[in-house]
Amino acid sequence: MIAVQVVATLSLKGGVGKTTVALGLAGAAQQHGVRTLLVDLDPQANATIALDVGQTTATVADVLDEPRRAVLRRAIVPSGWGEGLDVLVGAEQTERHNHPDPSGTQLGRLGRALERILEPDDGDLVGGVSFEPYRLVLIDCPPSLGQLTRGALAAADRALLVTDPTMFAVSGVQRAFDAVHAERQRGNPGLQPLGVLINRVRPRNIEHEYRINELRELFGPLVLNGLLPDRSAIQQAQGACLPIQRWDTPGAREVSAVFTTLLGRVLRSERRVMEPAAPPATR
């Protein structure tokens, strides 16, 4: 049986490049032959647009209405980036599921949908064809702590906390970390923070250096060593609906190297998923 890693990318502060990180990690996985599903849970659906998907007759909003395999099949399509990367497409209508105080049933809907994808039941196949197995599922969460983000944390193995080096970064990361801890207590004890990824870093910027040091003092080894630089190549690649890994500029190669390292961290953490008897640890 293939081990599947489910990673939620989240930030409770908007505008930090959370979707950029989800896309960059998806591109790295595709480049290295790791079959991946990206779940676009953000009602802005920016990841769906950047991945250049075709028309579907259902979206993740419909899946959360009714997490049946037949609905999933209509909502999951190949990305425009090529083989090995599929998308559970996002839509503005997903906002109707972002209740501020969801019930346990509502929080479990995404997890039930992923179970139907990752553990196919031969008695519930459509047309006798099962889902091709994924090794990695990436969930792009909205920048708020309602049903959508909490449901993603309830379904995830790891949470990647995304921030930028600004004055509001510390409170945003702290709230995201608290949300991960709360979900562990509520019903997903296997959930672990993968780390804090600092995005949009400018070299020789005194304010950025100060905030990065502040984050490292507060969160210690949770802050990842690889910092994502602020490069125009990221916006250029997204505008062309291409992964940053295929944008051939020095800035793009610099960013791609960070995502390759991050992918390695994700895949190494599979050991803790496959060996549940081992005590959870944060590296």
Rounded-to-integer distance, Cα 119 and Cα 134, Å = 10
Answer whether residue 282 is part of any domain. no
* Beta carbons within 10 angstroms of residue 201's beta carbon: 17
Rounded-to-integer distance, Cα 266 and Cα 224, Å = 12
Answer whether residue 157 is part of any domain. yes
Q: Residue 171: its pLDDT value, please?
A: 87
The whole domain housing 112 covers 5-274
pTM of the model: 0.91
Rounded-to-integer distance, Cα 168 and Cα 170, Å = 6
Answer whether residue 37 is part of any domain. yes
Answer whether residue 283 is part of any domain. no
Answer whether residue 15 is part of any domain. yes
Answer whether residue 44 is part of any domain. yes
Q: Residue 120: its pLDDT value, please?
A: 57
In DSSP terms, which residues pair with 37 in a beta bridge? Answer: 86, 137
Q: Residue 145: its pLDDT value, please?
A: 94
Contact present, 79 and 133 (Cβ < 8 Å): no
Answer whether residue 97 is part of any domain. yes
Cα dihedral 181, 63, 87, 46 sign: negative
Q: Residue 160: its pLDDT value, please?
A: 98
Q: Residue 121: its pLDDT value, please?
A: 52
Q: What is the pLDDT along the chain (283 residues), one digit of tens a residue?
A: 567 999 999 999 888 999 999 999 999 999 999 999 999 999 999 999 999 998 999 999 999 999 999 999 999 999 999 999 999 999 999 999 999 999 999 999 999 999 998 875 544 444 333 567 899 999 999 999 999 999 999 999 999 999 999 988 888 899 999 999 999 999 999 999 999 999 999 999 999 999 999 999 999 999 999 999 999 999 999 999 999 999 999 999 999 999 999 999 999 986 444 333 333 344 3
> How many domains does the structure of the chain reveal?
1
CATH code (residue 121): 3.40.50.300
Answer whether residue 279 is part of any domain. no
